[in-house]
Structure 1
Amino acid sequence: MFDTRPDREAEVVLVGRSNVGKSTLMREVTGHSFDTGGSPGVTREPNHYDWAPEDFVLTDLPGFGFMSGVHEDRREEIKTNIVRYLEEYAENVLVAILVVDGKSAVDIIDRHSGPDEIPYDVEMFHFLRELGVPTVVAVNKMDKVDDRDERLDELCDRLGLYPPWKQWQEVIAPITAKSGRIEPLNEAVREHLHEHQRDDLFKFF
């Protein structure tokens, strides 16, 4: 079980499948380097970065979904641990940031949508909302996306949000973490922090 969590009241978590750029985004927000691997599944345990004076922790949870070279049992175990972690700390989580790859997210979702199958990203989005955790979808790697509005509308549609995406700016945040273009995410996160009366955390976002 993930038992390394610092004893902090408030938390923001990053979730998402492997290789979507969560650790890069974490580095961008904290200014602190974490292991980002060229191969999926580098983050197997949560990475916590905490600010004691603000009683706040930012957590990068391990990637879920397919990881080359990682046995399916281990993948399922990681996913179960993520779900348990989120259930356990749901009341502490001010915002969850679900990171997806802007270029491939819709295709991956469509590939895994069948009568008996809910794609991980969609499942995670609804699971977080069921837990009552405000969720922002950080649509990363947008520098590689040509038909930007169309892609974001399609993603909204798959998540059960009525397009156009622009009416969901507190939920859908197009970013490019690698080059530090994350302002839409910061704005969306701040909206939710403000609702929790935690404007003191704005300086991190």
Structure 2
Amino acid sequence: MFEGRPDRGAEIVFVGRSNVGKSTLMREFTGHTFTTGKKPGVTRSPNHYDWAGADFTFTDLPGFGFMEGVDEEAREAIKDDIVRYIEDHSEEILVGVLVVDGKAVIDIIDRHESRGEIPHDVEMFHFLREVGIPTVVAVNKMDKVEERDDRLDALCDRLGLPGPWQQWRDTIAPISAKRGQTAPLREALETQLREQHRDDLLQFI
């Protein structure tokens, strides 16, 4: 069970598979360097970043799914902890940011579905929404993707959102965290916060 959450009443969480760039994205938003690495599964407990005097925190949850050198039992335990954390703090979580690898996500989803499995990314997207958390999908590494619109339309299809993707700009945000290209995500988060009358938090976005 994760421990050490700051005593904050408002939170934005970043969740996604290992090695999709969540920690890099957190650095873009906070200016603070978090532990990152090429080896999946470096982040095993949440990274929180909060501000003195502000009732708000960003949280980078551990990566889920396949991790080289991590057995299935440990992977399932991490995923269970992530689900429990989100359930326990659903009232405080204003937005859930599901980070996916724009280059690989369609192949990963299709591979799982061809085996009769529910893909983790799809499952997490619907879980966040089912517990009442507004969800933005940050489609990272888009600088490596050709035919961007086709790829984003395909992702919407897999998530059950009728295309074209452009009508979901408050939900689908194509970005490249490593290159600092995060404007679509910032705009989507601003929209979500304004809808919840939390303009006081826009300064952190």
Assess same fold via TM > 0.5: yes
Residue ranges of structure 1 left out of the alignment (5+ in a row): none
Q: Where do 1:133-148 residues align within 5 Å?
A: 133-148=133-148
Deviation at 1:52, TM superposition (A): 3.4
Deviation at 1:13, TM superposition (A): 0.0
CA RMSD of aligned residues (A): 0.9
Aligned to 1:105: 105
Residue 75, structure 1, aligned to residue 71, structure 2: no
Contact 1:49–1:57 (CA under 8 A) maintained in structure 2: yes
Deviation at 1:179, TM superposition (A): 0.9
Q: Where do 1:110-189 residues align within 5 Å?
A: 110-114=110-114, 116-189=116-189
Greater mean alpha carbon deviation, residues 148-157 or residues 49-58: 49-58
Over 3 Å counting, the alpha-carbon distance change for 1:74 and 1:54 in structure 2 is: same
Deviation at 1:135, TM superposition (A): 0.2
Alpha-carbon distance between aligned partners in 1 of 2:51 and 2:87, rounded to the nearest angstrom = 23
Deviation at 1:203, TM superposition (A): 1.6
Deviation at 1:115, TM superposition (A): 6.9
Contact 1:8–1:52 (CA under 8 A) maintained in structure 2: no
Give the TM-score of the pair, scaled to structure 2: 0.98
| Equivalent AA in structure 2 for residue 51 of structure 1 | W
Which portions of structure 1, spanning 4 or more consecutive aligned residues, are displaced by more than 3 angstroms?
none
Residue 7, structure 1, aligned to residue 13, structure 2: no
Q: Provide the aligned length of Structure 1 versus Structure 2.
A: 205
Alpha-carbon distance between aligned partners in 2 of 1:145 and 1:41, rounded to the nearest angstrom = 24
Alpha-carbon distance between aligned partners in 1 of 2:126 and 2:85, rounded to the nearest angstrom = 16
| Equivalent AA in structure 2 for residue 10 of structure 1 | A
Contact 1:15–1:63 (CA under 8 A) maintained in structure 2: yes
Please state whether the residue corresponding to 1:34 is helix, strand or coil.
Answer: coil
Aligned to 2:26: 26
Alpha-carbon distance between aligned partners in 2 of 1:8 and 1:90, rounded to the nearest angstrom = 13
Deviation at 1:56, TM superposition (A): 0.2
| Equivalent AA in structure 2 for residue 159 of structure 1 | L
Give the TM-score of the pair, scaled to structure 1: 0.98
Contact 1:96–1:128 (CA under 8 A) maintained in structure 2: yes
Deviation at 1:114, TM superposition (A): 4.2
Q: Where do 1:58-97 residues align within 5 Å?
A: 58-97=58-97
Please state whether the residue corresponding to 1:99 is helix, strand or coil.
Answer: strand
Alpha-carbon distance between aligned partners in 2 of 1:101 and 1:202, rounded to the nearest angstrom = 26
Alpha-carbon distance between aligned partners in 2 of 1:134 and 1:114, rounded to the nearest angstrom = 29
Deviation at 1:24, TM superposition (A): 0.2
Deviation at 1:197, TM superposition (A): 1.4
Alpha-carbon distance between aligned partners in 1 of 2:128 and 2:173, rounded to the nearest angstrom = 17
